[in-house]
Amino acid sequence: MANIVAVTACPTGIAHTFMAAEALRRAAQAAGHTLRVETQGSVGTQDALSAAEIAAADAVILAADVNVDEGRFAGKIIIRASTREVIADAAALIARAATGSPAPAPTPAPATASTGGSLHVVGITACPTGIAHTFMAAEGLEGGAKKLGHTVKIETQGSVGAGNALTPDDIARADLVVIAADTNVDLSRFTGKRVYVTGTKPAIRDGAAVVTTALAQATVHGASASGGADASSPDFVAQAAAAKASKNAGVPSFYKHLMTGVSHMLPFVVAGGLLIALAFAIGSFQFGDQGIFIYEDKYAGTLGNTLFKIGANGAFGLFVPVLAGYIAFSIADRPGLAPGMIGGFLAGLTGSGFLGGIIAGFLAGYIVLWLTRSIRLPRTLEGLKPTLLLPLLGTLAVGLLMMFVIGQPVAAALTGLTTWLQGLGNTSAGLLGALLGAMMAFDMGGPINKAAYTFSTGLLGAKVYGPIAAVMAAGMTPPLALFLATLVFKNRFTKDEVEAGKAAGVLGVSFITEGAIPFAARDPLRVIPALMAGSAAAGAISMAAGCLLRAPHGGIFVLFIPNAVTNLPMYVVAILAGTVVSTVMLGILKKPLGADGLPLVKGVPQAVNAAD
C-alpha cells in the first residue's frame, strides 16, 4: 500500500479542480492506497497538505492546468498530469505513483541567517497608487539583499502591471520570500515557502534590516503554527496570511482593504477627470466662455460633449463600483468581487456616492467571507459555491441592505457634507485646506496622505472640486521645496541629497509627493514639520481662493488645459507660496553640514544623535 499526496488546480478553480480530486480519491480507494488531496480552488486552498504529510508521502501527483509551486515537494517522486488526464484515467496515475522508485534522501536545508551562505531572495512590492513607493521599496530590498551577499529578484506590482515578474522557476529556487506591500498581495504562489510580510516604508528605510528580520521571522506559508494545516478551516491559510501581514506592516487590515479598492479605483478617476478637463478645453476652443457648459444637452454630438460623457458617465460612473468591488475582493477574494461591485453600483442609485461604496465594499467582503466559511457542501458540489451560492447570497444580502437600510441615510449624510463644503466661507475653507495640506505632507504617500486624497477624489462624483485642488497643490510642494532648498541652502544637504533634489523637482511637478521621502527619512524631525507648514499654506490658499480642479492628477501639466482649474492665477500662487514656505523652513530648521557631512554647531562638527 502506497502513501500518496496530490494537488489539483485549474484556471477557474471550480469544476475540473474538484472533479480531478474526486477521481483520484476513488481510484486510490479502489487500489487500496492512502491518498490526501489538496485542492487549489477559487475559494482558496482547501485541505492543505502539511509538511509532515508531504514528508511521509511515497509520491506526489500534481494534477494542474496552472503553475503550482513545487518547491515544497523537493526530493519527492512527482507525477504530473492535466486535470483532464486525471478525470479520464485516474487509476493509471495512481498506479504510476504507487510503483514509483523510493523517495531519495532529503535535500539539505537552505542556508539561513544562522548557518550563513548565500540565499536566493524573491519578493513583491506594491503600494496603492503603484508609483513611487512600489519602486523605492523594490530598490531598497534589492540593495539590502545584495549588501548581505544574497541573490535577489523583486517583482513590482505597479500602476502599469507587474514588472520584473517572478517566474515559477524563480519561486521554486527561492529560500525566502519578502512581501513589502501596502495593499493585499496574492500569496497563493508561495505555498510552502518561507514568507515575511511588511509594508513599503520599512523596505525604503532599510532594506538590509528587512531581509535580516525576514530571515529570523519568516514562516512557511500554507502551514499552521503547529506545522500542519487545519483541515476543518479551509480558509485558515488566508486568515493566517492576513494576520501576519497586518502585524508586520504596522497598519490595520481595514486600511489595506480600503487601499486595495483605492488603487484599482484611481485609474478610473484620473482618466475620467482628464477627459472632463479636455472636454472643457475643447468646449472653450469651440464656444468661448460658454464652453464651461459643454455638458448641457444643447451641445450634444460635439466632440467636447462626447468626451464629457465618456469621462463623467463612463469613467466616473464606474469608479464607485470598482472601489467597492476591490475592497470586497481584498477581503474575500474572487467571490467577493461581484457582490462588492453590485453594492457599489447601488450606492450610485441611492445617491450615497463614494461613502456608500466604501460601506458596500466592506459589507460584501465580510458577508461573503462569512458565507465561505459557513457553507459546507459535499466535495462534488463545492464548485457551486463560487459560481452560484456566494455571488447570489452575497449580492442578495448586500443589495437589500443598501436599498433598505444603508443607502438613504448615507445619501443624506453625503448631501449634508457636500452642502457644507460648498457653503464654506473663505476662512473655514482655508482651515479645511490647511488640514488637508498638512495631511498630504505628514507621511507623503502613507495612510494619512492617502486618507486626504481618497476623501478628495471621492467628492468628485458629487461635483465638489475644491478639496482635490488643495490636495494636489499641497502634494506638489514637498518635493518642489526640497528641490529649491538643495539649490538655495546647499550647505544643509549632502552631495547625494543635492543630486536627489533634482529628481525630487521632477517628481514634484508631476504630483508625486513620495519624492520627498528620502529626505524625510534621513532627518524626519526637521524635514517633516517644514514640509507640513508649506503644504498647509498651499492647501489653505487654494481653498480660501476658491480654486477648483477637475482633473485629480497630472501635476503642473493639467494647468495648461483651459478650464481644468478655476482661478488659475491664485492656484499657481498657492503652489509657489507653499514651496517657498517649506524652503525657508528647511533653511531655518536644518543645520549647515561640515565637510564630513555632519551638522555644524558654532563651526564645530557634531555627531548626529538620536534626536537629530
| DSSP secondary structure, 172-203, as one string | HH-SEEEEEESS----GGGTTSEEEEE-HHHH
- What is the distance between the terminal CA atoms of the chain, rounded to a whole angstrom? 69
Q: 50 — phi, psi (to 5°)?
A: -85, 165
CA distance 397 to 364: 8
Q: Is 10 a catalytic residue?
A: no
84 contacts 206 by C-beta, under 8 angstroms: no
Helix/strand/coil for 440: helix
CB atoms within 10 A of CB 233: 15
Query: What stretch of H or E contains 449?
Result: helix 447-458
Residue reference for cell 466661507 = 425
Q: Choose among 36, 33, 66: nearest CA to 49.
A: 36
Residue by residue, what is the 3-state secondary structure of 406-421?
A: HHHHHHHHHHHHHHHH
Cell of 83: 486535470
Q: Choose among 272, 417, 409, 404: nearest CA to 352.
A: 409
DSSP state of 590: S
Q: Which of 14, 49, 63, 127 is catalytic?
A: 127
Helix extents (H) in 387-445: 390-401, 407-422, 426-442
CA distance 469 to 471: 5
* CA atoms within 13 A of residue 281's CA, in its CB half-sphere: 16
> What are the residue numbers of the active site?
127
